[in-house]
Structure 1
Amino acid sequence: MPGMEIYFLTNQSDQEINFSPSFRVNGMKPQLWDAMTGTVIP
């Protein structure tokens, strides 16, 4: 996908975690893609 950066984040534990990731990109807006439900949150 030209002009996009894709990051795959996974929690491989049995525990729920909360975190605040940061990425070295400018001028882009994040989206959350839920692989289980197919929903995309802009």
Structure 2
Amino acid sequence: MGYLLSAAGECFYHYLKINHRATLICNNLYFARSLIKKNA
């Protein structure tokens, strides 16, 4: 049981690491879009 949990945690950790850059890009796009809406 403990082994399964740690394996799942490991996979989740790698998933987060891989998608960290994508998350940053999404946040930046969202931020830019809200700025554009404010200025329009």
How does the TM-score come out when normalised to structure 2?
Answer: 0.19
Between structures 1 and 2, the one with greater helix share: 2
Using structure 1 for the length normalisation, give the TM-score: 0.19
Q: Which has the higher contact order (CA 8 A, sep 6+)?
A: 1
Larger Rg: 2
